[in-house]
Structure 1
Amino acid sequence: MNVEKIRNKKVSDRVVEQIELMIESGEFTIGEKLPSVRELCELFGVGRSAVRDAITTLKGKGTVEVKHGEGTYICGFDSSSLFKSQVLLPSIKDVHELFQVRKILETGMAEMASINRSEEMISEMEVLLSNQTDTGWGSDYSFHMLIAKASGNEILLQLVEFISSAMKKVMIEFYKQIEEDISLVRKIDQQHVTILQAIKEQNPKLAGQEMMLHLTTVETLLKSSVLEKA
């Protein structure tokens, strides 16, 4: 097991990073009990206080669960931790439920955006979609956030941002996978264009329908390209 010895400042934060990396790599798996504090001290070459502080941080992020008298266990994806930093890839079931929420929120969001959008917002979305150098998850995230902004509902904007943050890791991996297939990239890009056109034409029904089609497509591709290979 290759483990970096930790000797610089903010030792507990570095311990957190190391444990999170080991979870991501599969060295620690969901449901597994972490080594004892003493063993972690030896593993990372740090003191007990650093390990204890790290465990407290990981517990706060929902990454681990401390069972008194038993030990510390790796948690799976927890929907109650949507507003906290997530390290683990959600399961297929988790992603399906997240997309159910996205379909409810973002179809209505697209409809609202088609009614409330300004010419400035339309121009901003057109510039974003025309930028061929800005692709991948970052561009996708920005497009959906611009639609949320165009809806004119601040609470909706925050909800979409929270859900996007929860899905960030899996969506980044998704775009890495599909970038090898230009036809899929073009399909996603064209769906964005079609959604924007419906919003621009102030057609709420069509905007909602196109958003639903887009989210259904992405969910299907995501399950087959990332989660089934995880």
Structure 2
Amino acid sequence: MLQAEKVSRKKVSEIIVEQIEGWIHSGKVHPDEKLPSVRELCSMFEVGRSAVRDAITTLTGKGLVEVKHGEGTFVRSTDPNQILSGVLLFRESDINELYQVRKILEAGIVEMAAVHASVVQIDSMKQTLDQLLMATTLKGWEADYRFHQQIAEASGNQLLINLMEAVSSTMKKGIMDTHRVILSDINLSSAVMGQHVAIYDAIEANDSVRARTAMLSHLTYVEELLHHHLQNSSD
């Protein structure tokens, strides 16, 4: 007889925790901002009150939210040191593997994008790049990720686009961690933003060689940046 394993309350609450953490780290909700009420969260996630309460308890324990009785649940304020202390979910091997894949994929992809990108696609990249350059919160990682995906789409090769999608989950984590690091250091932020501009300029100029060089330079820089901060955080 087939037996189905019930989805435990713990698993449901963990999913809620992950999504709310995503809101906080991406900047969709800001420090001191009030989260939706328990009733609203139940409706949004289509779960019972106990699952939501368990999730809030977990988030409170992590120091991400604060429950003010009679008022609601609020995102806690953080300073750059607190942001850095929670950064880098990767191990050394995770960073190595991710950036090995990204260098192999994106170096070739950007070469093709420099040759095949349409005027409309280049305009879309420019709009996303502008959003990235103006970003002042962790939410900037979304524009960063979208910029790289737009380059893949501009390559015109559906298989390459699919391969980028296949590593998108891990890639998002890497980009989000990068933005947590650079958010606290204007020099690092300026360097990374400048690298994105160099990639865009090469694509706009239809210079595939320069585009490849710019992409590899950017990915190598970010990989070393993540390694450096991971090592410092473990000292």
Report the TM range for the smaller structure's normalisation. Answer: 0.5 to 0.7
| 1:167-214 CA distance string (max 9 Å, x none) | 323432331121111111111111111111111111111111110001
Q: Which has the higher contact order (CA 8 A, sep 6+)?
A: 2
- Between the aligned partners of 2:150 and 2:15, the Cα distance in structure 1 is 32
Unaligned 5+ runs, structure 2: 1-6, 19-87
Aligned position for 2:127: 127
Aligned counterpart for 2:215 among listed residues 206, 211, 216? 211
Once the two structures are TM-superposed, the CA of residue 18 in structure 1 deviates from its matched residue by 9.1
Compared CA separation, residues 153 and 19, structure 1 to 2 (3 A): same
- Between the aligned partners of 1:164 and 1:225, the Cα distance in structure 2 is 22
Compared CA separation, residues 211 and 16, structure 1 to 2 (3 A): same
Q: Give, as a single letter, the amino acid of the residue that structure 2 aligns with 1:162.
A: A
Once the two structures are TM-superposed, the CA of residue 215 in structure 1 deviates from its matched residue by 0.3
Structure 1 residues 91-110: aligned runs within 5 Å: 91-110=91-110
Unaligned 5+ runs, structure 1: 1-8, 21-87
| 1:115-151 CA distance string (max 9 Å, x none) | 1100001111111111244463111101100000100
Aligned counterpart for 1:14 among listed residues 12, 24, 31? 12
Segments of 4+ in structure 1 off by > 6 A? Answer: none
Contact 1:177 1:226 in 2 (8 A): no
Question: TM-score when scaled to structure 2?
Answer: 0.59
Contact 2:121 2:150 in 1 (8 A): yes
Secondary structure of the structure 1 residue equivalent to 2:167 = helix
Instruction: Report the aligned-residue RMSD.
Output: 2.8
- Between the aligned partners of 1:145 and 1:134, the Cα distance in structure 2 is 18
Aligned positions, number: 157
Aligned position for 1:142: 146
Compared CA separation, residues 19 and 123, structure 1 to 2 (3 A): closer
Q: Identity across aligned pairs (percent)?
A: 39
Question: TM-score when scaled to structure 1?
Answer: 0.61
Q: Give, as a single letter, the amino acid of the residue that structure 2 aligns with 1:104.
A: I
